Structure 1
Amino acid sequence: MWYLNMNAIMAISGMIVILALTRWWPNNKRILLLAFNLSFLLVFSKKLFVFYLVYTLLNYIGFRFLCQTASWRKSWFITLIALNIAGVSGMRLYGMRIFENPLFDTVLLLGLIYNVLKVIDAYYFAYFIGKDARAPAIDYANYILFIPTFTSGPILKFRDFIADTKQPYKLIAPQVEDNVKRIILGLFKTIVIVPWMSDIFISMQQGELHTHQSLFLMVWFYARIFFDFSGYSDIAVGFGRLMGYNIPENFKKPFQSPTLTQFWRNWHATLGDWFRDHIFIFFSRKTPSKWTAASLSILIMLLMGLWHGFNWLYFFYGLYHGIVIALENLLGKSTVNKKKVSRTYFLARCALTQLIVTFSVIIYSGSTETVFKIYRGLLNWPF
């Protein structure tokens, strides 16, 4: 996470100043940004720098090949994606110490689960658009290595990034003010609020837990996750837009979501959008039936769960959310139009959705012991 390091923040801020001073140069957003991205990675870690040079080059070769080839396109498309999935899965298994190799370094995992999604999105673009999807190597490299969103998203779409690249760099006072305020808000969340909430969470889970304590910890941890992740997203969006790119929103008032389907369009929105777009496109080119949509919902949520971590907790987390979304599809309750229902009904649906999410979000703690301890505490009445 760059944003907990003041040197990294100063480097990114300095790059924005350089872009502003060279805005008269049509290619400043392309050439200077590539130099910055590569230099940043080199200073941060030589291993990470070398890894991403090779990773980006290999995938760019695959991208250009897929743009131009006319034979066996679907087979090549699937193969290139499968190789990337196998590669990132293998790296994660090394990170979990299931496999051992002296060449492996945990720093190589930095940003990889986000960047592989960007690589796959570029392959989709190449496959469906063909020769017109071709992009210069410099723009492809900037897309993969874009520092503001490198470690935690939001997840950029290839076509949108390339479109922004073609626009001249512009910076106006209101834009600077809005994004600087957003960066400060994000830093406040991640540096002040999150550590304080983490300390309380750790302190309260010591010793035996009862029902009310477990409930409090679930709600508290849910709020902590929101401040943590939305804080990083605020910083990334602010810095990215100051660099001349329209970074998409990752959090769109998720607490006002009346269904779980709508929740995943508002919470980590770019991740939910990525899985829906790519899975539905691949498995269902036409409007799916309710049963097909329900089945794909379970598959998407299972994949999203495993994307967060290779263990049974995340598997069941994805299955749990997938089943609820599937039921919403089958029952025709996947969306609620706020303007067509009463305020009481809308708020009740929002509360139900948050209850469903709160029950499972503790899995993000990453500790099996903590998760089971809090769940056991729910059944431990204090009287």
Structure 2
Amino acid sequence: MWYLNMNAVLAMVGMVLVLALTRRWPGNKRYLLLAFNLCFLLVFSQKLFVFYLVYTALNYVAFIALGRLQHLRKTTFVLLIAANVVAVCTLRMFGMEMFTHPLFDAIIVLGLIYNVLKVIDALYFAFFIGKESRASVLDYFNYILFIPTFTSGPILKFRDFMADTKQPYQVDAAQTKQYVKRIILGMFKKVVLVALMMDVFKNISGAEQLHVHESVFLMIWFYALIFFDFSGYSDIAVGFGRLMGYNIPENFKKPFQSPTLTQYWRNWHATLGDWFRDHIFMFVSRQTPTKWTAAGLSMLVMVLIGLWHGFSWLYVLWGVYHGLLLGLENILGYTTVNKRKVSKRYFYARCLLTQLFITAAVIVYSGDSHTVYKIYSGLINWSW
């Protein structure tokens, strides 16, 4: 969201310059970044600023308390996670106008579905590490409020972010050139390609009735559109994050060259899939699961990812669809394909099959039930 606002982009460019000019100060990355994160939110929205001060402070207290707790640790851990999930779900329902209240402002839900995942990751760290799970209030606030990844990820791991805070600011000229190019590429995707592709999508999908060739085209076109949209955002976030001295993880790892759905979800929006797999599997089954257990957990993970995207039956069905396919891969033992051990023809045929499965449901990401219904209806309309 920030990256379509020129003032926000200039503010981040200014922060990078300040960090570069103060690189001799060992604490520049930590103290200046906190000041930047807070000032940015305050200028953007006073309500958002106040909400996140309170939300982050409460969760920091919970993080510290959980790490020091001797008794009822697991119960407290579960209750803290449940409290965050319930709070976020409730606020999202207000944002979706399922609930209404005159005091509610939709701005406070900005970035919340990403930031609650970071909060929960920190709670996991405190629970499993215990007394050694230390983080200063300064570093915890920077972790939750990190502006480059605030609204749409990539999702930062608590352990990795804390490790980066201990490293001095070391971005050199070659890295600056590389990351600036990454930002420009992301801007081109977001501002140019996505805008043009969205116009085409709206023009064709706006027809009163669609035919099979139009529906197929729209499904493929929309798949490409959301790839450029989200990978473009990730490019910009990774570029700015690394220019600020933090190793932001990659979100897209050649997803179109994934021969199975299991491998695809490790390469498409990789940080989200990794988060759900790590936290669900870690909580439910810390041992290597059986094929049937893995299949059941895959269903659970995909339904949760669907609900994370939106509270609607469309996203639930999307989660069930992908959960069934992933479950079958686990049960039948088709979760991975080693490119070096199979022929190129077989490998790319499997990649194509995976993309067909993904394309069949990708239109759900539009979030518009009317558009989804119209496009699927067009698949059975063979008349010209």
TM-score by length of 2: 0.99
Residue 375 (structure 1) aligned with residue 369 (structure 2) = no
CA deviation profile, 1:161-200 (whole Å, cap 9, x unmatched): 0000000001211100110000000000000000100000
Match of 2:163 in 1: 163
Residue 111 (structure 1) aligned with residue 108 (structure 2) = no
Residue 146 (structure 1) aligned with residue 149 (structure 2) = no
Match of 1:123 in 2: 123
Match of 1:286 in 2: 287
The Cα of 1:343 is off from its aligned counterpart by 0.4
Residue 272 (structure 1) aligned with residue 280 (structure 2) = no
For 1:108 and 1:258, the matched residues in 2 are separated by 40
For 1:72 and 1:134, the matched residues in 2 are separated by 20
Q: CA RMSD in A?
A: 0.5
Residue 188 (structure 1) aligned with residue 188 (structure 2) = yes
- The runs of at least 4 aligned residues of structure 1 exceeding 2 Å deviation read none
Residue 9 (structure 1) aligned with residue 4 (structure 2) = no
Match of 1:86 in 2: 86
Aligned to 2:78, the other structure's residue is in SS state helix
The Cα of 1:382 is off from its aligned counterpart by 2.3
In structure 1, what residue type is equivalent to 2:350? Answer: R
Aligned to 1:359, the other structure's residue is in SS state helix
Match of 1:221 in 2: 222
For 1:145 and 1:101, the matched residues in 2 are separated by 26
For 1:366 and 1:22, the matched residues in 2 are separated by 45
In structure 2, what residue type is equivalent to 1:172? Answer: D
Q: Which runs of 5+ in 1 are unaligned?
A: none
Aligned to 1:23, the other structure's residue is in SS state coil
Match of 1:68 in 2: 68
For 2:29 and 2:171, the matched residues in 1 are separated by 12
For 2:252 and 2:85, the matched residues in 1 are separated by 26
In structure 1, what residue type is equivalent to 2:56? Answer: T
Match of 2:26 in 1: 26
Residue 202 (structure 1) aligned with residue 202 (structure 2) = yes
For 1:61 and 1:98, the matched residues in 2 are separated by 31
In structure 1, what residue type is equivalent to 2:364? Answer: I
Match of 2:302 in 1: 301
Q: Within 5 A, what are the aligned runs for 1:90-105?
A: 90-105=90-105
Match of 1:245 in 2: 246
CA deviation profile, 1:8-41 (whole Å, cap 9, x unmatched): 0000000000001011111111100000000000
Aligned to 2:266, the other structure's residue is in SS state helix
The Cα of 1:131 is off from its aligned counterpart by 1.0
For 2:177 and 2:97, the matched residues in 1 are separated by 45
Match of 2:77 in 1: 77
CA deviation profile, 1:289-347 (whole Å, cap 9, x unmatched): 00000000000000000000000000000110010000000000000000000100000
Residue 339 (structure 1) aligned with residue 365 (structure 2) = no
In structure 2, what residue type is equivalent to 1:297? Answer: S
For 2:13 and 2:133, the matched residues in 1 are separated by 32
Q: Which runs of 5+ in 2 are unaligned?
A: none
For 1:28 and 1:82, the matched residues in 2 are separated by 36
Aligned to 2:337, the other structure's residue is in SS state coil
The Cα of 1:207 is off from its aligned counterpart by 2.4
CA deviation profile, 1:121-140 (whole Å, cap 9, x unmatched): 00000000011111000000
The Cα of 1:96 is off from its aligned counterpart by 1.3
In structure 2, what residue type is equivalent to 1:263? Answer: Y
For 2:143 and 2:367, the matched residues in 1 are separated by 30
For 1:134 and 1:308, the matched residues in 2 are separated by 32
Aligned to 2:333, the other structure's residue is in SS state coil
TM-score by length of 1: 1.00
The Cα of 1:49 is off from its aligned counterpart by 0.1
Q: Within 5 A, what are the aligned runs for 1:349-360?
A: 349-360=350-361
CA deviation profile, 1:343-367 (whole Å, cap 9, x unmatched): 0000010000000000100001110
Q: Aligned residue pairs: how many?
A: 383
In structure 1, what residue type is equivalent to 2:212? Answer: T
Q: Within 5 A, what are the aligned runs for 1:165-180?
A: 165-180=165-180
In structure 2, what residue type is equivalent to 1:232? Answer: Y
